[in-house]
Amino acid sequence: MKKGDLAAGVPGVTAVRFVMVAGAPKRDAVVHEGDPADLDALVELLRGRLESDVPPYLNERRQLRIYGSDDLFILKPSEIRYWDATAGLNDADIILGDHWLRRRNAAAHA
């Protein structure tokens, strides 16, 4: 597997993990750089387990969001166009929509 590097423009996959905790936000963001072996383990876990109706000959760019109880993983191609401010705002809209739908569905089943 080729290692992606967003800063250097090397193709691959870049993953970001957001962790939600109770309390007021801190003044400065806390950023940790993860171990690339964790991403490799995630890729191996997901390889071949996702069903898709897209023919394999199409070169389609994929994005993946994995929601945990207190965290969110976002995996996207290591290209600036997937990680610029506009993409971030679009991601935020989608993620907030996902949470709104989840809350709405949970309330309907209560």
Question: CA triplet 14, 38, 32: central angle to 5 degrees?
Answer: 70
Gyration radius (Cα) of the chain, Å: 16
pLDDT in tens, the chain (110 residues): 345 666 676 667 788 888 888 888 888 887 888 777 777 777 676 666 656 666 655 555 678 888 888 888 888 888 888 889 999 999 999 988 887 777 666 666 66
62-68 contacts, C-beta under 8 A, 24 or more apart: 65/94, 65/95, 65/98, 67/98
**What pTM was estimated for this model as a whole?**
0.65
Q: How far is CA 47 from the centre of its chain?
A: 16
Q: Tokens 């199409």 sit at which residue? A: 58
